[in-house]
Amino acid sequence: MKSTPAKAVKVRSASGDYVVLCQRGILERAEREIARLGRFSSIHILTSPKVWKALGKEIRRGMPEGFAKHVHQFDDAEEAKNLQTVEKISRALVRTGADRKALLVAVGGGVVGDVVGFAAASYLRGVQLVQVPTTLVAQVDSAVGGKTGVNLPEGKNLVGAFYPPRLVLVDPKALGTLPDREFRSGLAEVIKYGVIADPKLFAFLESGMDAILRRDARALEHVIRRSIEIKARVVGKDERESGLREILNFGHTFGHALESATRYRRFQHGEAVAWGMMCAGLLGHEVTGTPADAVSRIVTLVRRIGPLPEWPETSAKRLLQAMHADKKTREGKLRFVLAPRIGEAETFDDVPEKKVECILRCAPQFFARPLKALGKCDA
């Protein structure tokens, strides 16, 4: 049976435009798609043991023996997303003879993509990169846009580079082996795109969430492709996060603080973002007048992706301190992406810290009860 062409989404970049190819089964012809990029002195697959165990055979079928003979595996836990892992990868590349005409193929979730992307940007001052995201959060978000980086003990993604790939291969079929918790976690980023840029996508998620949670092929491919299109449009206009691209961080200022305060051991990234979006919705109601109905819809939809890890027993002041280490902070002032209405978002830098502290204090109790009516948070 003749395969249909993959659906391509073009991403504009100052370093050279690239495409995201999204189609079920595209990994089966990964060799052909990568070969279109030109010749490389060597090709190195970088992945984690668990991803390679789940998808290694399928990926090898798409890349015949000899096409990519070097496979480097490393820990993809969030705690391992650090400079030490980048050093280990770089030294492994040296030992296997990777030169400036080598190609790195990142196969895995967000941690793999971020770490390998930063290694590609740094090794020999830059080698070519292909992203093959295998988790939902990576397919719709982290593999697209060229942001790479690692964490420091002081905060998330504080060391990194803007380094776009040559190609991104998105195969929704790869999500079939994804654990349920990771799949549901990734849906938070999909909800984010509806909140910040597309009320039709948000409405589709409201009506089709049950089908998506069943991993219905058509529903899932639709939301993945639409999320990629939104991200490509945003980063094409603002690659270096100097303005518009900041809207992609809706919920992330709260989420990153939760991850940092729990040393990246309690939350998956999407789970922290899910808490963060609910908090950002409530903060929007407090600060920008986001309608109560809109906040209720955001919170209700987030809740439908499944139970979240409990809010940590950490003081609001400690979380505020973690927020001050966020990349968006300017001259010591916290900046938040808020949504005045579903489908629109912008960055605010005049948010009273007392309001933020109040949200952090009351969030666990507030979001645990039915949202029949949305009241004010007493600062």
**Residues taking part in catalysis:** 125, 147, 189, 231, 241, 245, 249, 252, 256, 269
Q: Residue 69 CA to chain centroid, in angstroms?
A: 29
Would you give the DSSP letter of residue 239? Answer: T
Alpha carbon distance 139, 22 (integer Å): 9
Alpha carbon distance 238, 13 (integer Å): 9
Site of tokens 């009351």: 362
Ramachandran area for residue 137 (φ above 0: left; ψ -120 to 50: alpha; else beta):
alpha
Torsions phi, psi for 150 (to 5 deg) = -135, 170
Alpha carbon distance 353, 179 (integer Å): 38
Torsion of CA 181, 184, 186, 191, to 10 degrees: -160
Alpha carbon distance 7, 265 (integer Å): 36
**Can you give the C-alpha Rg of the chain in angstroms?**
20
CA–CA distances in Å: residue 352 to residues 253, 334, 336: 15, 9, 11
Structure tokens at 18: 């690239």
Q: Are 128 and 39 in contact (CB under 8 A)?
A: no
Site of tokens 């999320």: 227
Structure tokens at 126: 């830059």
Task: Give the up-direction half-sphere exposure of residue 36: CA atoms within 13 A in the CB hemisphere.
Answer: 12
Length of the chain: 379
Site of tokens 């949200």: 359
